[in-house]
Amino acid sequence: MKDHNLNDKVIVITGGAGLIGRAFVQGCAEKGARVIIADVDEKEGQRLVKDVKGKTGNNEIIFIRCDINNKDNIDGLIKAVIMKYGVIDALVNNAYPRNRNYGKRFEDVRYEDFCENININLGGLFLVTKEIADVMKKQKKGNIINIASIYGVFAPDFEVYKGTKMTMPIEYSAIKGAVVNMTRYLASYLGKYNIRVNAISPGGVFNNQPPGFVKRYSKKVVLGNRMAGTDDICGVLAFLLSDQAGYITGQNIIVDGGWSL
Ligand SMILES: NC(=O)c1ccc[n+]([C@@H]2O[C@H](COP(=O)([O-])OP(=O)(O)OC[C@H]3O[C@@H](n4cnc5c(N)ncnc54)[C@H](O)[C@@H]3O)[C@@H](O)[C@H]2O)c1
């Protein structure tokens, strides 16, 4: 059986300083990877480097400030990683750019904001993937993992948001649906270069949301009637990053505790 560890694999995690990204960085570090946190949040990124090094004893964790909407930033990231390690084994597309009007009810979403959010989120994922795929094509190997969402596959149940200020904005469905299908496109296109492309679609992750929302959402979750913890997503990521998943491409793995059944 092939190894499940990530020893010495060079893994770029966009949005690595965020809620789910932090758990991904920690999980990959525990499995022996060389992790590059590519994020716009320098303060949190640097803090995380220290924290993860301390907790795991893995010193191959670095932060590089990178806005996935900025080609110069991406070029700088690639240059720095190649200079240090000579290879990029994997890209985890996990960043979550959104503008300040993001997160509104359908009736309140302005056309300009819809377009901008698609542009910065989906467009950013496209840009960083295109640039890093170029490197992977030359290497004749690579592994790309897109973090999608259950809302890229299923419709939201708006009842769960009742009585809260939260909603599920339409641009999120559009973006994540596109991410799932772009995963298939890229898997098909890049397969001949020995590049695998898969997606993970997490369910809602607990982040101190209003109790009423948590209760209503959790009711639909078959496993434990609870929202996901960030650790619930890490196992699938580690598997897809490992050589054990070497014959898997173009797939979208839903990690939602059975919410969508
Ligand atoms: N939280 C959930 O319940 C949930 C559920 C399913 C899927 N997801 C997906 O998981 C991913 C991570 O979500 P999260 O909840 O950890 O979000 P988060 O907001 O906690 O973290 C996102 C990170 O992305 C960074 N970022 C934002 N714009 C960027 C840019 N232009 N370039 C580089 N980095 C940028 C932020 O600084 C932040 O560190 C997202 O793709 C999200 O859609 C989240």
pTM: 0.98
pLDDT in tens, 172-196: 999 999 999 999 999 999 999 999 9
Taking the CA atoms of the chain, what radius of gyration do you get in angstroms?
18
Find the domain containing 217 and state its range. Answer: 10-253
What pLDDT does 239 receive?
98
pLDDT at 2 over 80: no
Q: What average pLDDT does this structure show over 1-16?
A: 90
226: domain CATH number is 3.40.50.720
What pLDDT does 27 receive?
98
Q: What's the gap in Å between 97 CA and the centre of ligand 1?
A: 7
> Quick check: is 195 in a domain?
yes
pLDDT in tens, 226-257: 999 999 999 999 999 999 999 999 999 999 99
Query: Rounded to whole angstroms, how far apart are CA atoms 20 and 34?
Result: 18
> Quick check: is 4 in a domain?
no
pLDDT in tens, 87-123: 999 999 999 999 999 999 999 999 999 999 999 999 9
The total number of structural domains in the chain stands at: 1
- Tell me what the pLDDT averaged over the chain comes to: 97
Across 28-37, b (16+ Cβ under 10 Å) vs e yields: bbbbebbbbb
Please answer whether residues 53 and 39 qualify as being in contact, where contact means their C-beta atoms are separated by less than 8 angstroms. Answer: no
> Quick check: is 5 in a domain?
no
Please answer whether residues 28 and 6 qualify as being in contact, where contact means their C-beta atoms are separated by less than 8 angstroms. Answer: yes
Q: What average pLDDT does this structure show over 150-178?
A: 97
Please answer whether residues 235 and 23 qualify as being in contact, where contact means their C-beta atoms are separated by less than 8 angstroms. Answer: no
Which of the listed residues 14, 20, 126 should we mutate to test ligand 1's pocket, taking the one with most ligand atoms within 8 A of CB?
Answer: 20
pLDDT at 3 over 80: no
Q: Which of 172, 185, 189, 247 is catalytic?
A: 172
What pLDDT does 37 receive?
99
Q: In the annotation, is 172 catalytic?
A: yes
- What are residue 29's DSSP bridge partners? none
Which of the listed residues 37, 39, 41, 96 should we mutate to test ligand 1's pocket, taking the one with most ligand atoms within 8 A of CB?
Answer: 96
Q: What's the gap in Å between 261 CA and the centre of ligand 1?
A: 25
> Which two three-digit tokens encode residue 165?
């200020």
> Quick check: is 1 in a domain?
no
| Ligand 1, CB within 6 Å, residue ranges | 14-15, 17-21, 39-41, 66-69, 94-97, 124, 147, 149, 202, 204-205
What pLDDT does 4 receive?
74
> Quick check: is 139 in a domain?
yes
Closest residue by Cα to residue 96 from 33, 146, 158: 146
> Quick check: is 258 in a domain?
no
Instruction: Return the percentage of the chain with pLDDT > 90, whole number.
Output: 98
Q: Is 13 helix (H, G, I), strand (E, B) or coil?
A: strand
pLDDT at 11 over 90: yes
> Quick check: is 41 in a domain?
yes
> Quick check: is 248 in a domain?
yes
